[in-house]
Amino acid sequence: MSKTTIISTWITEPQWTDGWPIIHRSDQVPRPSVWLIDPVHTHAVIGDRCNQVLSEAELTRAARFHQSAHRIRYNATHTVLRMLLAAGTHADAADLHFHSGHHNKPNLSENQDLSITFNLSYTENKSMIGVAEGQAIGVDIEWSRRPIVIDDMLSACFSANEIDYITAQEDNMYRRFFTLWTRKEAILKLTGEGIGEHLPLFEVLDGSCITDKEIIGGHPPDRIYLYSFHISDGYVGCYATSASLDQLQFYLL
């Protein structure tokens, strides 16, 4: 049975740069990169652009959200995604087409430039987009101050070693929980695999872990590199990729 090695590490001090100059100039999008979005601010900056570039299906889906905050977050995030991909492929943002891959993971349709890949994630009052050069990636962002009862989730999602790490002390327990949670979510989003009973069977503690590919599911690569990073105000993110990174660029919108 073939194996995957999971390497988990930290980017301790990510250097965040204003991403709007790149968005407005439609420059080549740096890859790999992470784009942190403040939905309310971004929605105000792009104005009516969402109605110009989003597809009818996307606008219909946005309209289904009962809470305006969720509708704004969806519109802002998907508009930025189209603008980033347009800059990366030299296409018109409104002309981009997507299809659903394994477990409905979104990808650019095959008749377009597939040299750029992407993934996105939502949490409370933030969203995040990752872009890369060709290889599959997964990103996840969570707010560690989100009110949630984690007791029932521990045994369902984590190994005994991971549970010991999370519950070692009361201080920052939720931050440790969400650090490991974002790592596992980023793996699932890289592979397109959904949440299931396999989560406690592979570990994402700092360092390396070797596990069966069949356990991870979704045709994982031989190596998965997990790059965790803290964000201000209690947010934590993770970028998963099959290639070791010399640099990962961070942008704020």
How confident is the model at residue 60, as a pLDDT?
A: 95
Q: What mean pLDDT comes out for the span 193-206? A: 92
Average pLDDT over the chain reads 92
Using DSSP's 3-state secondary structure scheme, residue 132 falls into strand
pTM of the model: 0.95
Q: What domain count does the chain have? A: 1
97, pLDDT greater than 90 = no
How confident is the model at residue 125, as a pLDDT?
A: 94
Instruction: Looking at 138-172, list the stretches that DSSP marks H as alpha helix, in order from N- to C-terminal side.
Output: 151-157, 160-166
Whole-angstrom distance, CA of residue 238 vs CA of residue 220: 17
pLDDT-based confidence at residue 39 (cuts at 50, 70, 90): very high
Phi, psi values for residue 185, rounded to 5° = -65, -40
33-37 and 249-252 as β-strands: parallel, antiparallel, unpaired?
parallel
Residue numbers of the domain that contains 239: 3-252
Output the CA torsion 95→99→105→108 (10° steps).
-40
CATH of the domain at 88: 3.90.470.20
Whole-angstrom distance, CA of residue 21 vs CA of residue 49: 16
Tens digits of per-residue pLDDT, 232-251? 999 999 999 999 999 999 99
